[in-house]
Structure 1
C-alpha cells in the first residue's frame, strides 16, 4: 500500500470509524442517563428531550464537556457513593440547563451558549469551537470554569483573533496532510481551551484528561509554528477519540463496571524511556496512559511521514518543517509506537479488556504495515538517548547554581566511568581511547554547557557503535552483561539525581 492510503485505513470501522464510535458513545451515555433517572429527575427529563432531538443536537449535547462530566459524576456517586468536585445538586442543575437548551431547539452544545457568536475551528457541524471572551459569564460557563480550575489548578484565557487564526491554519494543514484521520479525530473534540502557559499551566504544551472529556487545552504562547500546532492539535484530538471508544467498550478490564473512571490508582507499569522522569517519576505510565500514547503515536507516525514528504510543496503556506519548535520526526514517532505496543503486550495485557486487546492488535498491524524498517524487538538505546540529550538541553535553561554545578561535575565523572565500562563490554577499545580524550575537553562556559557537550559526545558514540542504530547488544560482548542494560543503568541513575538537583535549583531561583 502507498503510505497515504493509511489515512483511510486508520479511519475504518470499528476502531477508526467515528460514526460508529459516536453512536456507541451516545448509546452509553443514554444508558447512564436512564440509570440515574430514578434518583435524578433532571437526567430522565434530559433523556426524554434527547429522544426527540435531531442527531446534530444529540451529538453536541452528549459531547459537551460539562454535561458529560455531570452525567459521569452522578453515575459514579450512584454506583459507589464517591463524591467529586461538582456536588450532586450542581450536576442536576447542569442537566436541567441542558434539557432547556435541547427543548429550545438549539443545535450547539449547552456550554457553548449562543451558537451564532461561537468561533469554530472549521466547519461547525463536526469541528470544535474555541473558548473566547465572555464565554464563562453564565451559569454553565462559570461552572465549567470552576471545574477546570479545580482539575488543573488554573483557569483558561480567552482566545484572541491571532490565536484563532493560528488554530485554523493548523487545522487546514492537517486537512492537507491527513484529511480523513484529522477530520475523524477532531469530530470527537467539542471545545478548544487556551491556557496562558503560566502558573499551574507552566510547562504544559497541550493536555487533555479522561475525566474532562470533549475538550483539549493548548498553550497559547506556543501557537507559532503551524506544523507544531497541527501535531499537538491532532495529538489531543486523538486522545478524545480514544476516550469516546473507552466509554463504550471494554478497553480495560475495570471498564466493565458501571462507568469507566479516570486512571488514578492503576499500577504504573510502562516507562516512557524518552521522557524525563522528574522527581515524581512522571515518565512511568499506567495502562490507560500507555494505551492512549500508543494510539496517538501510531497516528503521529503517519502524519509525520506524510508531512515530511509534502513539506516542500507546503512550505510557502506553512513555513519550513524545521522552523523553531519543530514537530516530532516520523522516525521518533514510529519508534515510540513500536516500544509502547510491545510494552502493552508484555506488561499490561492482563489489565486490557477484550476490546483493548483487539485495539492493540489492530494498531500493531497497521504500524507494521506502515513501517518498512522497524526497530528490533526490545530495543531501548535510541529511546534512552532521546532522554539523555533532552535532559542536557533543559539544563542550559536553568539559572546558575553552585549546588547544581556540583551535581553536574559529579555526574560527569560517573557517566564517563560508565561510558568507558560500556565500551569495554563491547570491545570498543579504539573508540574508548578516543572518547577518553574527547569526553574531557577544556571547560568553557558554564557547567550546564560543558555537561551537555559531554552527553552529546557519549550519545553520538553509542549510537554510532550500534550496528542497527538501536542496540549495542547486537555487538559481540567481551565482558559483563547486556550493554543496553548498562546504558539504561547509567541513564536512570543520572536521571534520578538530576531530577532532585533540578527541582532544588528551580525552587531556589528568584
Structure 2
C-alpha cells in the first residue's frame, strides 16, 4: 500500500498539462510577459522595461512574477485592459512595481518579502527560494503601504470575507515550518509541486458569513499566498492539510489563468448543505483528490512520525472538525468526510455537470479520477447523462464554400513554440487568448481559405478524412471567430483583405 501511495503521489504531478507545476508556471509567466507587451503599447515606461524582463531566466522570472505585489498589479492591469473597467488601483503603480522588482532580480528576496519587518521563512528551498511569512511593519513605507492596500481591496473579493493580519512570533513560524516538513515527509511529490505555487503565508483571524475561517487563499489582489488562523498551527497534522489544501487551490488558479475551465457558470446546491458555483466545485474536487493522498499516507505511514510530530489523537481536544481533518475524524454524518465529497463531485462533473466545463476541464476531471483510482474507487454509479445545451454545438452536415476566413490584422501574438501554445490579443479590444496546438494550426490555416479548403488542409496535415476533420475543426473555427481572432470574409473580397500582417 505504501508503494501505491508513492505511485499516486508521483502520478498527480506527472501530467504535462494538469500536473506538471513547472510547465503550468512557465505558461503563466509567458502570459504575464505577453500582457506586459500588450500594455506597453500605451505605456512608454513599461516599454522600456520589457527587454530586461525578456532576458530573465525561468527561475528569476518565477520569483519576479511570484512577488505578491507584482502579480497583484499585473492582474489588476489585465482586468482593466480586458474589461475597460474603472478600478480603485493606480494604473501607474504597475510600472513602478515592475521597475523596482527588475532592479532587485539579483537579490535573494522579492520586493514584497523585502518589505517585511523580519525575515521569516518556512518550507524547503525550491528553485532558490523559500516561502516567506508576512510581518508587515507598523511604519508607513511605499511597498508596505501598497501591500496593505492590496489586502484591503482583495481578500477573497465578493465572498463577504474579512481578514485581520497578526504579527508572527518565532514560535508560530516554527510551528508553520514543522507542518511544512510533515507535509513534505508524507507526500513529497505533491508537496514539491504545490510549494512551487506558494510564495508567502499570512497568519490572520478570518471570518465569512458562516463564521470563523480556518484558512483561505486570496484573490488576484493577494495572489500566490495563503492565510492560516494562528490557533491552527499547534496541530501539525491538520496544519499540513490546510497548507496543502490552499496551495493546491493556487496551483489550479495558475492553471486556469491560461486555460478556461468553465463554459457556463451556475450555482448548485450540494448534499452537505452549501450552495456554491460550478467553478468553486471544480476547485473543491481538484483539492479533495490531492488531499486523499495525504490522508492515505497518514493512515499507512503516520506512525513513523509520531515521535517527531506527536500522534494525531494527542491534538484531538484542540481540533475543530472539518472534512479533511486527519485528527478529528469521528463524524459519521453523510458527506462529512473529504473522500465522500470527492466521489460525489467527480460523478457530477462526469455526468450532470459535464456540459458546464470546457473540453480541457473535462479531460482534467477524467485524469484526476484515473489518478486517484488506485486508492479510491471512482467508477460511475450511473450511466453518463446526455451533454447539456452548454456543450459544443454539433457540426453541420457539410462545410461551406461561400465564406472564407482570415486572421484579424489587429492581433498581437506571442508563440511558445516548444509547448505548441500561442497567446493572442486584439489590440483594439485586448483580451488575452491562449490557443492550444490544434487551435493554433486552425488559426494559421485561416489565410483566406473556405470551410471546405480548411477541412481539406487540416485533414491532410492530421492524416484523417475530410469529414472527420470538419467535425474536429468546426468548433475551433467557431471559437476563433467568436473571440475575434479570425474574421469571416465575403467571397467578393480581395485576396488580401483581412490578412494578418
TM-score scaled to structure 1, two decimals? 0.64
Q: Judging changes above 3 Å, is the alpha-carbon distance between structure 1 residues 201 and 341 closer, same or farther for their aligned structure 2 residues?
A: closer
Segments of structure 1 that go 5 or more residues without pairing to the other structure are 255-265, 277-282, 379-510
Give the equivalent residue in structure 2 for 1:423.
none
1:84 deviates by 2.6
User: Within 2, Cα distance between the matches of 1:142 and 1:25?
Assistant: 27
**Which residue of structure 1 aligns with residue 202 of structure 2?**
193
The structure with the largest strand share of the pair is 2
Residue aligned with 1:38, SS: helix
Indicate conservation of the 8 Å contact 1:127/1:187, yes or no: no
Structural mapping, 1:231-246, within 5 Å? 231-246=241-256
Which of 297, 300, 303 is equivalent to 1:309?
300
- Within 5 Å, which residues of 2 pair with 1:260-271? 266-269=265-268, 271=269
Contact 1:85 1:147 in 2 (8 A): no
C-alpha distance in 2, partners of 1:89/1:173? 43
Cα deviation code 1:195-239 (max 9, x no counterpart)? 035799961100013423201111112211100100000101101
Q: Which residue of 2 aligns with 1:229?
A: 239
| Distance in 2 (alpha carbons) for counterparts of 1:122 and 1:55 | 21
Q: Secondary structure at the match of 1:192?
A: strand
Aligned pairs (5 A) from 1:46-61: 46-61=49-64
- What residue in structure 1 maps to residue 230 of structure 2? 220
1:121 is aligned to 2:122: yes
The one-character-per-residue Cα deviations of 1:239-295 (angstroms, maximum 9, x if unpaired) are 1111111112232348xxxxxxxxxxx4213x3322x5xxxxxx2221221111111
**Does residue 1:292 correspond to 2:278, yes or no?**
no
- Secondary structure of the 2:166 match is coil
- Name the SS of the counterpart of 2:50 in structure 1: helix
Residue 347 of structure 1: CA displacement? 4.3
| The one of 4, 7, 12 aligned to 1:5 | 7
1:496 corresponds in structure 2 to none
Q: Secondary structure at the match of 2:80?
A: helix
Residues 332-366 of structure 1: CA deviation (Å, up to 9, x unaligned): 22221111112223343333223212111110111
Structure 1 residues 116 and 90: alpha-carbon distance in aligned structure 2, compared to 1, 3 A threshold: closer
* Unpaired segments ≥5 residues, structure 2: 156-161, 330-335, 384-501
More helix by share: 1
Q: Tell me what 2:358 maps to.
A: 353
The yes-or-no answer on 1:341 pairing with 2:341 is no
- What SS does structure 1 have at the residue aligned with 2:312? coil
Equivalent residues of 2:369, 2:378 under 8 A apart: no
Does residue 1:39 correspond to 2:38, yes or no?
Answer: no
In the alignment, does 2:305 pair up with 1:272?
Answer: no
Q: Secondary structure of the residue that 2:361 maps to in structure 1? A: helix
Greater displacement, 80-89 / 9-18: 80-89
How many Å separate the matches in 2 of 1:206 and 1:57? 29
Q: 1:328 aligns with which of 325, 328, 337?
A: 325
Aligned length: 357
- TM-score of the aligned structures, taking structure 2 as reference length: 0.65
Asked if structure 1 preserves the Cα contact closer than 8 Å seen for 2:195 and 2:247, the reply is yes
Deviation per CA, 1:356-408: give whole Å up to 9, x if none. Answer: 12111110111223215879559xxxxxxxxxxxxxxxxxxxxxxxxxxxxxx
Secondary structure of 1:203's match? Answer: strand
**Pair 1:141–1:114, CA change in 2 (3 A):** closer
Paired residue for 1:457? none
Partner of 2:411: none
Pair 54,344 (structure 1): closer, same or farther in 2 beyond 3 Å: same
Q: Please report the RMSD computed on the Cα atoms of aligned residues, expressed in angstroms.
A: 2.8
- Secondary structure of the corresponding residue to residue 13 of structure 1: coil
